[in-house]
Amino acid sequence: MYRFLLTTRWLGFAALMLALAAAMVGLGFWQLSRYHERSSVNARIDAALRAEPVPVGQVLPVGVAPTAGAAWTRVRATGRFDAAHQVLARDRSSDSGGVSYWVGQIGHGATFEQVELSFIGSPEYFQLHGGTNKGAVDALYKDVLGLEEVRRHKSPRPGQRAADRGGCV
């Protein structure tokens, strides 16, 4: 009665289903391991948010590469702005040397705002954004405030209805 189950087609189908079931179980274990990895990172971030800030020099000593445990640690930095030593590092990927330099500057008293001013208050920033006042201001709205430029609606062409350009009728 069930001899058709022993045909090559049915045996191949059964083998395929067993292989797929094994793959799904393997993927389930992979997802579970990713969950545990993410949970540990999220727990570290949550703990850091609840902790009091520590002096930046305690976490990131000048001239020493940061340790893996330094990630997400809240720090406190104070200092004075030295306009004569501004350096532009805008529109570049962060490298350990550059990051160490700026962290060192903060460790020696520069504030985050002063470091940010070094980036955006340079002629290069101005040129990278069109070399015009409008381009630079639009870039500041986007980069500093996280706002996109306000889109202006074009006037309709003669005879064009509002509905044809996406407006209300």
- DSSP notation for the chain: --GGGGSHHHHHHHHHHHHHHHHHHHHHHHHHHHHHHHHHHHHHHHHHHHSPPEEHHHHS-TTSPPPGGGTT--EE------GGG----TTS---HHHHHHHHHHHHTT--HHHHHHHHHTSHHHHHHTTTSHHHHHHHHHHHTT--PPPPPPPPPPTT--GGGGTS--
pLDDT at position 70 is 82
61 and 11 in one domain? no
Q: What is the pLDDT of residues 8-62, one digit of tens each?
A: 999 999 999 999 999 999 999 999 999 999 998 888 888 888 889 988 888 888 8
Same domain for 126 and 72: yes
In a domain, residue 162? The reply is: no
Length of the chain equals 169
* 44 and 97 together in one domain: no
Tally of domains in the chain: 2
| Residues forming a β-bridge with 76 | 55
The model's pLDDT over 102-140, given as tens digits with 9 standing for 90+, comes to 788 888 888 888 888 877 777 777 888 888 888 888 888
Query: Does one domain contain both 31 and 94?
Result: no
Mark whether 95 and 135 lie in a shared domain. yes
pLDDT in tens, 141-164: 787 776 765 444 444 455 544 444
Please list, in sequence order, all residues whose beta carbon lies within 8 angstroms of the beta carbon of residue 154, skipping any fewer than 6 positions away: 165
In a domain, 118, yes or no: yes
Please check whether residue 47 is in contact with residue 74, taking contact to mean a CB–CB distance below 8 angstroms.
Answer: no
CA-wise closest residue to 57 among 21, 109, 93, 19: 109
CA distance 3 to 7: 7
Q: Is the residue at 13 inside a domain? A: yes
Tell me the whole-structure pTM to 2 decimals: 0.34
Check whether residue 14 and residue 76 sit in a common domain.
no
- 100 shares a domain with 59: yes
d(CA 111, CA 102): 10
Same structural domain for residues 30 and 59?
Answer: no
Tell me, yes or no, whether 148 lies in a domain.
Answer: no
| Lookup result for tokens 């990278």 | 128
Range of the domain at 11: 3-50
